[in-house]
Chains A and B, each alone.
Chain A
Amino acid sequence: MDFITLLLAAAIASGTPLLIATLGGILSERAGIIQLGTEGIMLMGAVSACLVYIRSGSLWAALAAVVLVSAALGLVHAFMTVTLRANHIVSGLAMTLFGAGLSAYLGKPVAGQPLPGAFPRLELAFLDGVPFLGPIFGRLDWFTWISFALALGLHLLIHRTSWGLHLRAMGDNPATADVMGIPVQAARYAYVVGGAVLIGLAGANMLLVYSPTWNEGMTAGRGWIAVALIIFARWNPLRALLCAYFFGALDSIGFRIQLEGSLIPSYFLKMIPYVVTILVLMYLGWRGRGKPSGSPESLGLPYIREQRL
């Protein structure tokens, strides 16, 4: 396999958790609720997948546990931000700190233990021997295929359905959405919870597919990269796909350089995605001076029906 093919395969592998987490964040933020709890929810997703998989041996039970745990966390965030109108940033940071602490505690007994089995793959025999496509898509796991479908599905949902229209409206101007008869508060709950479930699954993806043992803090800041990716992707699921693989590639480039026996300390190589995050954000901010960022207008603002503005 040549370098490019290897790099692409690696980009997809390490980009998939980023993609799923970014999609979850997009859902929440399109509805107007900032989601900074990503890192914590990913960790909780990963640790609950690990615990249940090791204890029960059932992959389905593990995934069900992830959905339940992350939905519960999403529900708390929605309750804080939608109903109690707490500051979205504070609530999100609390979620991250809470998730990091609790997952470390819960994960102690299973830290470093191997999982009972690998995630099932979709074998596409007809791609064998096809250059480029074969090595990349021939033996991909189901999780990754589902993430492709998710990106496309969410894109269609947002841009081609009545629900998507409602979603875009309530993130931009909830008062208008309310006047047009859209149940803003209930829908915001649904999107925050749905988004949190995706974020939890992103954590599970890291554990079940990418690096199959639990370590404390194993997401290593990927939740924060996903938060930045929402902005790079300008709240668009298909663009999120490209951005996530771009960052996935950066992640694995550092690893490749290290394997080549470079003199650069590995700590610097591991920094690459984060440095690029800062640089890209600076570049986008500079280029977009005075232009709309594509961010939902009412992102982070609570909505109260009878308040005079």
Chain B
Amino acid sequence: MSTHPAVEMRKIVKRFGSVTANDQVDFTAERGEIHALLGENGAGKSTMMCMLSGVYRATEGEIRIQGRPVRIRSPKEAAELGIGMVFQNFRLVQTLTAAENMVLGEKGGFWRGAGWMKRKTKEIAELAERFGLGFPVDRPIWQLSVGEQQRVEIVKTLYRGADIIILDEPTSVLTPGEAEQLFATLRQMRAEGKTILITTHKMKEVMSVADRISVMRKGRMIASLAREETDERQLAQLMVGKEVVLQRKEREPAGMEPLLALRGLKALGHGGRKALDGLDLEVRKGEIVGIAGVAGNGQKELAEVLNGLHPWSGGEIEFDGAVWKRASALEAIESGIAHIPENRMKSGLAGSLAIADNLLSKSYRGPERSRLGLLRGGANRRWAQSLVEQFDVRTPSLDTPVRMLSGGNQQKLLFAREISMRPKLMVAVHPTQGLDVGAADSVHRMLMELRASGSGVLLISEDLDEILQLSDRVLVVFGGRIIGEMAHDEADRQRIGLLMTGSAGAEEAAAGRAGAEEALRQPDQPDPDGKEAIV
């Protein structure tokens, strides 16, 4: 046994054109440890790991694996050195089975008949079993859940004989329960002598699973610490470079004027299944309403209906005094609804278009932005520049394609566009998903500012902390209906959690609804403006 560290990266520099993603970074991971690389989005963690796995090549610097200097020119060479990576976006072929995905690229033999496949499938199932990673080995990938797909990816690295296993943001797609299960697996792998590197921006995870933590910020290595000698507070400080306050803020009471009312809303989802099944909901001006719930209970359809992207089949939508007749994205925009979609690169921004173009994509019809159907070039550029500065979007230029920005900056850009429309209602779906602490904090601030300026906010999120921190009222959605409602300060994690699973049963749901109605009749917050009289 050599005493060399498993991975040593020295003075690594990586440039993409004029952008420097990593600047003189040193990184060392010992054999048999779980090493977390912590940092905000865009800090350069993933870039470092991609160089280790052969996806990118370092511009400068030296890499040593088990003490041996190496050049990793392709993922294939990385695999030969015993390095395997589980990417954030899984590298799986959807139409092949889990087993076929693993034997892909395997050497030796041309014929892959039924007998051969059967032997391999058995071998893979046994390997998965050993690490407590169960999944259906002979089903095509597209039929597996995200958690199962991640297990396929991990077993794939093990199957290919990796000793150094890199996981890029492994928990971003997992439920808390699945994440716990993943950590147990990682510990099991460590016990078998594997070196595990994970990149993440979630401090809780780092503290629960990592032996050693390296913090990166803006492409540089800030510190490398053992878990025992640090705490969440210090890590947060190292990560963002300034102290972050993670507390619920004092707030003005919510407004009382009605803005949006949904009555018995029904809509069909993908494949004709009932997505919304008689949903009632109200949002008032200057109020943040949080919708909690497990994904797939109608949240997506609710947001799409409100933005005119999805037809509804029953019930009534009243917004700002008018009853809607049909779904129209243009009418939704013009009546003052803003949208932060679930997947910003899919339905929020056009990745290959420039920043300025993306900012214009909702407002270009207005007389300030265009005249006689022609865009006002100079004025629009100045306007875009001012938005970029106001919302602190970090970008090399206004002409940079949006896909080149980090996730946090993309989200800020999206907010800049939506808020510049002076919306009456903001529908924000998972607005901080995949964002680091700093960017998430500015998203939260923007939502609070919208509330202060008298806009309503419908916040749909799976992050309970976020919902509890921001919302004036919390609604729980299950099976396309609201089955529980709580005011800001009587919202209770346990009860929400129970309602979210739907296991609370009908009587619990009824109690939840009754309780919420009571809470509405007697607001706990003092109402100095005497708006009660209006209601």
Contacts and interface: CB of A to CB of B under 8 A. Distances in A.
Chain B binding surface, main DSSP class: loop
Interface string B399-425: 000011000000000000000000000
B507 interface: no
B56 A162 contact: no
A169 B271 contact: no
B104 A177 contact: yes
B402 to A, nearest CB: 11
Q: Tell me which of A160, A176, A305, A309 has the highest count of chain B C-beta atoms within 10 A of its own C-beta.
A: A176
A180 B91 CA distance: 9
A292 B105 CA distance: 25
- Residues of A in contact with B, size category: 20 to 34
Shortest Cβ-Cβ A-B pairs, 7 listed: A180-B105, A181-B76, A176-B91, A179-B75, A181-B105, A169-B93, A180-B104
Given A161-B110, A180-B105, A175 B404 contact: no
24 contacts: A160-B112, A161-B110, A161-B112, A162-B103, A162-B109, A162-B110, A163-B110, A165-B96, A165-B104, A168-B93, A169-B104, A172-B93, A172-B95, A173-B93, A173-B94, A176-B101, A176-B104, A179-B55, A180-B75, A180-B91, A180-B105, A181-B74, A182-B104, A290-B271
A161 B114 CA distance: 10
A180 B153 CA distance: 12
A166 interface: yes
A98 B207 CA distance: 65
Interface in A160-198: 160-166, 168-169, 172-173, 175-182
Contacts, number: 74
Contact of A297 (B16, B95, B113): B95
A2 interface: no
A290 B270 contact: yes
Given A160-B111, A308-B404, A176 B55 contact: no
Given A169-B104, A173-B93, A181-B105, A162 B112 contact: yes
B96 A161 contact: no
A164 B93 contact: no
B177 to A, nearest CB: 28
B100 interface: yes
B93 A308 contact: no
Contacts of B94: 172-173, 297
Contact of B91 (A162, A173, A297, A308): A173
Contacts of B103: 162, 165
Interface string B59-87: 00000000000000011100100000000
B105 A182 contact: yes
Given A177-B104, A181-B79, A290-B271, A161 B92 contact: no
A306 interface: yes
Contacts of B79: 181
A169 B56 contact: no
